[in-house]
Amino acid sequence: MDFGFTPQQEMIRNEAAAFLSRECAMPLVRELMVTEHSHSETLWDKMASMGWMGLIFPEQYDGAGLSFVELSILMEQMGAVLMSGPYFSTVVLAGLTLLESASDSQKERWLTPLARGNLKATLALTESDGRCAVSSPTVRAERDGKDYLISGTKLFVPDAQIADLIICWAAQNSGKDLMLVVVDRDSEGLTITPLKTMDQTRRLYEVTFKRVRIGRDRVLEGYSALERVLDRAAIALSAQMIGGARRVLEMCVEFSKTRIQFGRPIGSFQAIQHRCADMLLLVESARSAVYAASCNAAENKGETGLLASIAKAYTSDAYSWIAGEGIQIHGGMGFTFEHDAHLYFKRAKADEFMFGDSNFHLDRVADYIGL
Amino acid sequence: MNLDYTPEEEAFRNQVRSWVSANLSPDWEQISPRQSENMDEWMAFLKQWQRKLYDAGWAGISWPKDYGGRGATINEQLIFTEEMAKTKAPNLMNVSIGIELVGPAIIHHGTEAQKQRYLRKILSAEEIWCQGFSEPGAGSDLASLQTRATPEGDHFVVTGQKVWTSWAEYSDFCILLTRTDPDAQKHKGISCLLVDMKSPGITIRPTVQITGEAEFSEVFFDGVRVPQENLVGGINQGWTVAMTILMHERGTSAIGYQIRFRNELEDLIRLAKSHDYDGRPISEDPLFRRKLAQSFVEVEVLKYNIYRGATQIMRSGKPGPESSIVKLFWSEMDRRQKALGMEMLGLYSQLVNGSEWAVDHGKWARAFLWSRAGTIYAGSSEIQRNIIAERVLGMPRA
């Protein structure tokens, strides 16, 4: 057992941190926030040339064949800078779904260009009930000769407007048979409407299918792996969250050293010190949980679902609390739009509910431990 | 990064496991004395158990081989402690102030003569040690301690008072912090002495704790003569020795606590299935289910925190100030877990051992009371937060 980064993992981490602080600094994030898709093609291309889209995919699909731990390392750095854009949707949601569920020829068709950075994609899972689980969808796939006609509405679909492909979770035969279908964004009958949300660094959409016609070759072989994909999405998202939480703590500590009140830096007051100590305890504990889950996912150990739920339950509460303290410690400045504290606060709250909040995951843990 | 043990380490685990099953009766808890009922018999039982471990070469697993230890790797230490806790073997913390704290201090700072004289008898439990640190006026502010040690010929003469000294009544020796230079800055006038508890001038007065037990005592020193040769770490160097001790107090042994919390959580889950709340088993109440799941999450997160800390020790050779995070985490978590146990039992939670209505012989009430100790001893939660803020986060001194 060696529960620390290897020298190669350290290198990936340092490279990612340096790259993102240079190429995805806060001014860019704020600039993108007010654009249509909150996405920079330049940044995307640079990440592609670093090989980040293919990081965890097998070499036969032009990936680098690295493990889930390396993915979490990247995710943590991306979360620290509040990177926007469709990396998570493409690589984690769509990429892992294709890896787990697509046939060989489908993988060559979609996963290979995705791994090269030439294809963006997302997963349309959640519906109006707001649940992020593998439950029976209301979106219907209806047989029509050799084709399927897809109808219904998906909600909270990340990056749908910038994705080339939308992988949709649907049911046929009045909900009995479940399936994953791959739909082109530009398909006839598809309407994509942006949702107005607090966090403008992540774009969510309503996606409506009106008899969208797809061929049989766009149905993925197996949907049973969707559970595995969602477990991994929860872990990867938690990795992003610990990056953000750690950055909030750094901002607080730096601020508390220079902000003078009552004639001394506020960081010398125990009221501030103890709050920061508790923030560190939470973020480092969440990090332990995230990397334990990442190691498990990397080695397909089984019980990944339990570890994913432990990580997401713990991290969801930790990040939201830490981001709130981030505003509190910065005082009046923390409540201004100009200061970055609110960007983390909004992201933390959005992340908390994405792929299940602590209540959702605690219920899963309760089942796992035989309650 | 990986969480796997090597085949050699797994073989080591099996070796520990089979030794325990061959040497400890599975029903030892039923047939041996209870700490809460007869402290003398309980101590005798623990000494006997440690002697068994010593004879088999398991005592002092983390100590260097030169001093009679096993020189085990960090991972082997984790495995050993895990296995001991899993089999619910007697918790040696009570008698092992010697092994966990005094031994490392003597190994790091002691003279050759001191090592020869004391170390082996610590391992074999022939000599039991207590720790004379806290005083009425020096708790969290340990360095303000006032117990005086004045040189007189080849002796020190010690006068003062210590408090909250665990197992003082049962101890043969005390590792004692004293003030040897009252004019120096407070951290720089402290010396560490090894004191024979049978010396004339020592009075021990047991202190009854909130559990009704008297595991700790007040210890009075009135002109106690301690030979110069019992000085550890040099004159006025006592603070360095104390820091070594406190660092070890917050080291890898936490994994044993973790397994204990896990065992206790499993007991709580059993309780949830066998006891009703509002007309149905507690385990079917949605809120209690979440609270139990949250406790499980925290116990598991503690485990991974400890594993990370162990890797840190493996790579850098010693625990860092990050070990304060582990101490803060488990002690605060313990309080939440035991409060949950009380909440599950409702009115029954207040019944203690002796009541025919008490659940599990009142063990949850006792555990609930005990959970208030962990956030105070070995550096209170407030002190841990100070250490984290100043030494880990680099915030300005208060």
- For residue B285, the model assigns a pLDDT of 97
The verdict on a CB contact (< 8 Å) between A362 and B289 is: yes
Task: Give which of B297, B324, B387 to mutate to test A binding, by max A Cβ within 10 Å.
Answer: B297
**What is the total residue count of chain A?**
371
CA proximity to B77, closest of B4, B16, B1, B2: B16
Interface of B with A in 96-115 (CB under 8 A): none
Residue A113 neighbours by CB under 8 Å, 6+ apart = A119
Parse chain B into domains and list their residue ranges.
7-95, 129-238, 250-392
- For residue A40, the model assigns a pLDDT of 97
Tell me the sheet residues that pair with B192: B177, B232
Report the C-alpha gap between A70 and A72 in whole angstroms: 5
Its pTM stands at 0.95
Taking CA–CA distances from B10, the nearest residue in chain A reads A1
- For residue B85, the model assigns a pLDDT of 87
| DSSP at B361 | G
User: What one-character-per-residue DSSP string does B280-294 give?
Assistant: EEGGG-HHHHHHHHH
Handedness of CA A239, A244, A248, A250 (dihedral sign): positive
CB atoms within 10 A of CB A207: 25
CA proximity to A232, closest of A83, A11, A67, A110: A67
What confidence tens digit (pLDDT) does each residue in A15-28 have? 999 999 999 999 99
- For residue B252, the model assigns a pLDDT of 66
Lookup: tokens for A69: 């731990």
Residue A145 neighbours by CB under 8 Å, 6+ apart = none
What confidence tens digit (pLDDT) does each residue in A231-280 have? 999 999 999 999 999 999 999 999 999 999 999 999 999 999 999 999 99
Report the C-alpha gap between A54 and A3 in whole angstroms: 25
CATH 2.40.110.10 at A122-218, yes or no: yes
Parse chain A into domains and list their residue ranges.
7-119, 122-218, 226-368
The verdict on a CB contact (< 8 Å) between B311 and A2 is: yes
Say if B308 is an interface residue toward chain A (CB within 8 Å): yes
Question: For the domain B7-95, what is the CATH code?
Answer: 1.10.540.10
Q: Supply φ then ψ for residue A267, to 5 degrees.
A: -70, -10
| CB B119 within 8 Å of CB B106 | yes
- Nearest Cα of chain B lies from the Cα of A2 at a distance, in angstroms, of 5
ipTM (interface pTM):
0.96
Ranges of chain B whose pLDDT falls below 50: none
- For residue B94, the model assigns a pLDDT of 52
Report the C-alpha gap between B136 and B104 in whole angstroms: 26
Residue A234 neighbours by CB under 8 Å, 6+ apart = A308, A309, A311, A312, A355, A356, A361
Tell me which residues of B are annotated as active site.
249
CB atoms within 10 A of CB A13: 16
Domain A226-368 class?
mainly alpha
| DSSP at A35 | S
* A50-64, A220-234, B370-384: segment of lowest average pLDDT: A220-234
What does the mean pLDDT of chain A come to?
96
What confidence tens digit (pLDDT) does each residue in A122-177 have? 999 999 999 888 888 999 999 999 999 999 999 999 999 999 999 999 998 777 78
Q: Which fold has domain A7-119?
A: Butyryl-Coa Dehydrogenase, subunit A; domain 1 (1.10.540)
Domain B250-392 class?
mainly alpha
The verdict on a CB contact (< 8 Å) between B1 and A278 is: no
What confidence tens digit (pLDDT) does each residue in A91-130 have? 999 999 999 999 999 999 999 999 999 999 999 999 999 9
Closest CB from B78, B386, B396 relative to A265: B396
Lookup: tokens for A370: 């035989």
**What is the total residue count of chain B?**
398
Report the C-alpha gap between B140 and B147 in whole angstroms: 16
- For residue B38, the model assigns a pLDDT of 80
Domain B129-238 class?
mainly beta
From residue A132, alpha-carbon distances to A33, A57, B125 in Å are 25, 24, 57
CA proximity to A334, closest of A266, A273, A252, A268: A252
